[in-house]
Amino acid sequence: MSATIDTLEQLQALYGMPHERSLRKEMPCLSAPYQALVAASPFVVLGTHGPDGLDCSPRGDAPGFVRVLDERTLLLPDRPGNNRIDSLRNIIHDPQVALLFLIPGVGESFRVNGRASISLDPELLALCEAQGKLPRSVLRISVDTCYFQCSKAAVRSGLWNAERQVERASLPSAGDLLKAVMDESFDVEAYEQQLQERLKTQLY
């Protein structure tokens, strides 16, 4: 017997059929309860596909920063970042996207699959204004499917358990991580000081 599964038949034989509930919770639009999850979430992971492969990128802001335009449309603002624009480049290549919403303290997560376009529509930009500033662009996401994920992963990981929080000082700092890929002249202390200032002045 092979130790590798490479057919759908083998996979189905190993895992069996999904429970009916796990299929029924998948919807082609955002129900009112699903909209409530989006409105409560301050953090989403954006998955995209481009010519160089797959990419996952974090997005975060105040709860509800991802706006529900209607039951089939979400708006995701693009706040200032590092200008790599990996996700946006990928969307130009392939509009299919996946979103994973997390809500602090809540075990369930929320997944959305759909198609995105990069919009400069003034009305959509205005809907996503924050701290008196407009986003440079907005992703207009047409929902194909959405469903909530049960809390097992969050429970197993202890994701929201305060006793499992990691002391930031126990891990390499952002400056340390950059130092490992820069030349010896890279000034970690100066970078860390500049970073703290950017976090105060350049979030929006």
The model's pLDDT over 146-184, given as tens digits with 9 standing for 90+, comes to 999 999 999 999 999 999 999 999 999 999 999 999 998
Under a CB-based contact definition with an 8 Å cutoff, are residues 131 and 94 in contact? no
Per 3-state DSSP, what percentage of the chain is helix, strand, and coil (rounded to 5)? Answer: 35, 30, 35
Supply 162's token pair: 């305060």
Model pTM?
A: 0.93
Q: Supply the DSSP string of 141-179, one letter for each residue.
A: EEEEEEEEEPTHHHHHHTTT-GGGPPPGGGS--HHHHHH
Considering the domain delimited by 23-155, tell me its CATH architecture.
Roll (2.30)
Query: Could you tell me how many helices (H) and strands (E) the chain has, helices first?
Result: 8, 7
Residues 6+ apart with CB under 8 A from 64: 38, 39, 40, 41
DSSP H or E stretch at residue 12: helix 8-15
Check pLDDT > 70 for residue 196.
yes
Q: What is the mean pLDDT of residues 47-61?
A: 97
Q: What is the mean pLDDT of residues 23-47?
A: 97
Q: What is the mean pLDDT of residues 36-63?
A: 97
